[in-house]
Amino acid sequence: MLRIISLNLNGIRSATTKGFLDWLPAQDADLVCVQELKAQAGDMSEAMRAPAGYEGWFHHAEKKGYSGVGIYSRHTPDRVVEGLGIADIDAEGRYLQLDFGPLSVVSLYLPSGSSSEERQQIKFGFMERFAPHLADLRASGREVVICGDWNIAHREIDLKNWKSNQKNSGFLPEERAWLSGLFDGQGWVDVYRQLYPDASGDSYTWWSNRGQAWAKNVGWRIDYHLATPGIGHSAKTASVYKEQRFSDHAPLTVDYDWSLT
């Protein structure tokens, strides 16, 4: 089995103080994709860079205390791809890819548009330019798993208050249609939803810090594993870990019937 975890840390230093690095070794994961590091290379301790049993690779944002992605791996990759080769996107540290033989694993942090209309337009611009890259990956003949915070809830079942959020970033018709295009048009597999087509509350991975969203499970499913069909259909189980909180997101773990060796 190949176990891959995705988690938006909302700051690796903050998550570490909340026990993330203590929790990690017991998960028996082969790869851990993290997002929103909010740290530069010099801000990270040795334990953050290489937790026990893992090597870490990172794509930091240029702006301090902002964005950034990483992947912890028990296996040394054949190739590391940092960024998309698009200057303004790469300045925000949003894409990191590790290749292992015929398999690529990606940590992705798609922009949020909730803070302003300007950021929403930046999000749309990212989506427009990222879709051709996804199409190229899909056509490459490689097996691919893209883990991350996509900042979009795809269907009504994917968030608690869908009716009141139809005009809000993360559940806009254009965003949802874009994801549908990846699933129905390009043929990507939404791994969690394939395994649990009817899950609602159990599927949520993010909760607002406002009100009592966590306590009342008023959440959103915005963290995904998207995969090519070969490895995607090999997934056996998936789970969202909610016993401890390291972030406003929860870890999403998927076990694949797959081997890197």
In the prediction, which pLDDT does 105 show?
98
Direct distance between the N- and C-terminal alpha carbons of the chain, in angstroms, rounded to an integer:
11
Phi, psi of 28 (to 5 degrees): 55, 40
pLDDT digits (tens, 9 = 90+) for 12-27: 999 999 999 999 999 9
Residue 143 phi/psi, 5° resolution? -85, 140
Question: What tokens were used for 37?
Answer: 């590091």
Angle, vertex CA 29, rays to CA 215 and CA 106, nearest 5: 90
Cross-strand pairs, 73:
31, 55
User: With contact defined as beta carbons under 8 Å apart, do 256 and 2 qualify?
Assistant: yes
Cα 123 from Cα 169, distance rounded (Å): 9
Q: 54 — alpha (psi -120 to 50), left (phi > 0) or beta?
A: beta
Residue 8: exposure state from Cβ atoms within 10 A (0-12, 13-18, ≥19): buried
User: Residue 260: what pLDDT?
Assistant: 87
Any catalytic annotation for residue 158? no
The pLDDT value recorded for residue 127 is 98
In one-letter notation, the amino acid at residue 206 is: W
Q: Which of 30, 149, 223, 255 is catalytic?
A: 149
Element at 134 (helix H, strand E): helix 117-139
Contact 94, 127 (CB under 8 A): no
Is pTM beyond 0.85? Reply is yes
By C-alpha distance, which of 81, 126, 110 is closest to 223?
A: 110
All residue ranges of the chain with pLDDT < 50 are none
Q: What is the pLDDT of residue 261?
A: 73
